[in-house]
Structure 1
Amino acid sequence: MSKYRLLALDLDGTTLLNNHEISRNTSLAIQNVVKAGIIVVFSTGRGVPNTKIYWEKLGISISTSIAKWGRDMDGAWKTIGKTFY
């Protein structure tokens, strides 16, 4: 088991390329992290619909985003409140 439990990723200027796509290498790395049981979240100033498309492109059905206004969003795209330690 990894000593890491959560990976928070920004989208613009970091996870995304200049063309607003996720590179193949980054996509595979994110998928491997998820398979290892680590929670992956997008932490971004984008709104929820603009984060959901990237989870879909990654082919990951269970996802969480900390989106615009700091809201936590679960895979059903409802606001939730979770604390990760």
Structure 2
Amino acid sequence: MTTSAGFPAEIRIETGSADCTQLLDIFTRYYRVLADEVVQGIGGDRRVSLSDWTCQSLPERDKQAACVRGDAAVAAFIRLP
């Protein structure tokens, strides 16, 4: 997976369970929102609702975006050069 800024990101299920295909779709849609500058990426704190998931970029020091749905929490860890 690649972020809206072109950096590689590794998706990990932190808690609960989720369908991998759906997660790729959710993060692709979330990164598209970031690319369209609807919300700020890393360091932004605005939540975005996508289907039944809520996604948010975490503070810059964490270098990740997270999406939650019920008891499922998923993170995309961004690998910066």
| TM-score above 0.5 | no
More strand by share: 2
Kindly indicate which of the two structures has a greater share of residues assigned to helix: 1
Question: Which of these two proteins has the greater Rg computed from alpha carbons?
Answer: 1
Higher relative contact order (CA 8 A, sep 6+): 2
